[in-house]
Structure 1
Amino acid sequence: MMRSRIPQPNRQLCLPLACGLAAVALLWPAAPVVAAMNFCAAPALQTSERTNADPGVKTLINNVQEHLNDAPRAVARLHTEGLLPHEGLYDQSVEAQKDLDLLRNAALAWRATSDERYLKFVDRLLYAWVTTYQPSFNPIDETHFDSLILAYDMTASALPVKTRNAAMAFLNKFASGYITQIDAQPRPLRGTYRNNWQSHRIKLVSMAAFTLDNRKMINAAQRLFAEHIGDNIAPDGSTIDFNERDALRYVTYDLQPLVTAALAARRHNRVWLPLRTPSGASLAGALNWLTPYAIGMKTHDEFIHSTTPLDMQRREAGLPGYVGPWDPKNATELFHLAARLDGRYTPIALHLAATAPAWLAVCLPFVAR
């Protein structure tokens, strides 16, 4: 297998928060382990900032407030992959997984306002999900668990021990299960182990590994990320998903998890965006390949030559986005995330939307230089 060179972290660098946590660990070695990723960097908003907050941020907080008395919708299984609306568990799963984004938003609301009501809501939802859900290790069904990981990452140090321990056990099982599944596959990887499914696996593994601060898992995540760049992205920046699905929708779906994984890695001083395989492929190259479509210089009619029968079924069912030209707005969140990694993507993000999605505006309010 080709090896990729990834810039390693400077082990002598230490962010103020990380240094503070390390000092605490030295003073109290028996203290319970807490989240270590700190993906969301935003401090609590001051009163004046809350008053003048972006309308999207206000909407996020107000939406969480409206659900504070809702019962958890935790289920033992989610399944939407390969299904059309109203088939099988699709509708039930879509409804239940709304809890996951609500969890993330509640954690952000607590982070922004310090209002304990939001923390208690996170505690209630998080405990329900990590003690009810049984991982299927289907990354399409489980991709929204990135929101649960972020919620834990933001609140772990303030959660009751019972919830924190249950969440840690769940995330260990979750990430280790995915790593075992991937490593059991013959090389070179094929099928869903080299397309967008693998991007979602890597996102979930990376986020869990970094928030647990599990060195073995972190090294596995980095190894799998590097392997996937070589498997999925061509030297010109195009992806396997574009070749198979003839759709920019799936390019976005493929790249956004990888950008999210790279953001998680960056919090530990690991630089994944510019990583290049011996063939010259990189995540940065794939984003650059998509850029002319995102800014309207190029257009693309979606799914015309897709090799996946489900795409034709979705077209016939009238699902939005499966017929006609690709809407660049589909890449809004992708490029706003990418702008948090590299400021060169900021003009593209702002071209697509003047403000970032509300959750990202609270989580990472500032773009990279």
Structure 2
Amino acid sequence: MGNTMCMTKKEIREAGKNGIGSRSRRMERSKRRSLLEEELLHRQALSMAIQQHQLSQRFDGSISRRVGSTSSRRRNDLTDQLANSKQLPEFLENIKTKKIVLIHGEGFGAWCWYKTIALLEETGLVPTALDLTGSGIDLTNTNNVTSLEAYSKPLIDYLENLSEDEKVILVGHSAGGACVSYALEHFPTKIAKAVFLCATMISDGQRPFDVFAEELGSAELFTQESKFLTYGNGKDKPATGIMFEKEQMHGLYFNQSPTKDVALAMVSMRPIPLGPMMDKLSLTPEKYGTSRRFYIQTLDDHALSPDVQEKLVRVNPPEGVFKIRGSDHSPFFSKPQSLHKILVEIAQIP
């Protein structure tokens, strides 16, 4: 009897161990399967975004908080509107300009907007991401891009080809904000609204580099001493570009971004043409001054600090200011849902 009881307890213990082991194996298999599925979804989304700009995935992000807008009108909750497909046509009717043109920042390309493109298309809007000259998959040698006009040419061509009655919403990230300002000065009637995303919203007579000067030092000192400069025409000629090392890029641009997006950026970033960064921009009250501008601040930004962004909107006040908490300098990676909701809200403003 004693032996029987002893064996029974042992069997129970063994059964317990086997049960725990089985659950552990199932959990491990489930975890591996989830990781594989996530990786597959990421690759599919990225491939479709780069090749077709037509995605159907939804990406998670945190809710943004809108502050500081000059408008005090209350708006319907976007989450409820987007969740209810029956309301979608009525929701779109409230948006007069559905075309949104996405302009990347220095070193980036159209590829960086793949999450934003997916979300905007799901909403029923019509996003277009452009590669500026010498960026993304544009084959121009960045060493030959010497002016803001040349850098902005793909955007200029796009706006010139719009029909007379067409308007778009421009979104410019980082130094791409200078290209948006350039477009506002030259094509004011074709731009319904301009959104500066942690961007160089420069004033008349300023250079894009001037905005970064508080972070990087004066232009003169930077061009003399920086180890990140590139010399495409030879060391005896003036510097032609800037290329940060991976460690610096990670700290400046991606301190809150997912690992996979950082990996994508590390193999996709290109040298930053120096000429456009040093080009002074002429902006007039009659053209640029009549534009509707909005600014989105990123509050965990190491490339363009919140203090510098606050100074930009104070010196050159836009119509509305929005803030994304917990976002680095690449909110399209670190806070895609927050960015999306703000863009849709801006599109809705009458």
TM-score normalised by L of structure 2: 0.30
Q: Which has the higher strand share?
A: 2
- Larger gyration radius, structure 1 or structure 2: 2
- Decide which structure has greater helix share: 1
